[in-house]
Amino acid sequence: MNAGGGLYVLELVLLRKVAVKIGRLGRCEFPAGAFWYVGSARRGLAARIARHTRRSKKLHWHIDYLLARARLVRVWVWPETTLSECELTERLGGERAVPRFGASDCRCPGHLLCARGRALPESLGGVGWALTSPSGRGRAQRG
Ligand SMILES: [Zn+2]
């Protein structure tokens, strides 16, 4: 990864359902299971991913609130792509876990999808990392 921008997908897992109060979204309920969150960084993609893997930080984005309760298990990145995060979310498809989640800056239905045991489509060409550290502290391995 370099200092440039791009898109990313975080796969996170909730072992049990949780209810979390998230800014303007209010109280959101998340079922147990796996989720895909689609995000973008205009620059500093690597730094953004590193931030997501850190446990202690000021909660800012919607995803910060969920990550505080979930386990981040895998990350995919698209350092150079012409797709927008909304378009990538659309291509991944599936049910939105919570309406408008992660979509403060756009008009789409939201950037958090229920993964439901699906694999990320290879045709999308993302580079994936499995996070091996149980604390999710950013030790990542290609795979
Ligand atoms: Zn969107």
Q: How high is the pLDDT of residue 14?
A: 96
- pLDDT tens-digit series, residues 67-91: 999 999 999 999 989 999 999 999 9
Q: How high is the pLDDT of residue 54?
A: 93
Tell how far the Cα of 4 is from the centroid of ligand 1, in angstroms: 21
Tell how far the Cα of 110 is from the centroid of ligand 1, in angstroms: 6
**Mean pLDDT, range 23-47, rounded to an integer:** 95
Looking at the 3D structure of the chain, how many domains does it have? Answer: 1
Q: How high is the pLDDT of residue 135?
A: 47
Tell how far the Cα of 109 is from the centroid of ligand 1, in angstroms: 7
- First vs last C-alpha separation in the chain: 15
Closest CA to 36 of 108, 90, 105: 90
Residue 45, amino acid = L
33 lies in which domain range? 4-142
**Mean pLDDT, range 108-126, rounded to an integer:** 92
- pLDDT tens-digit series, residues 5-27: 999 999 999 999 999 999 889 99
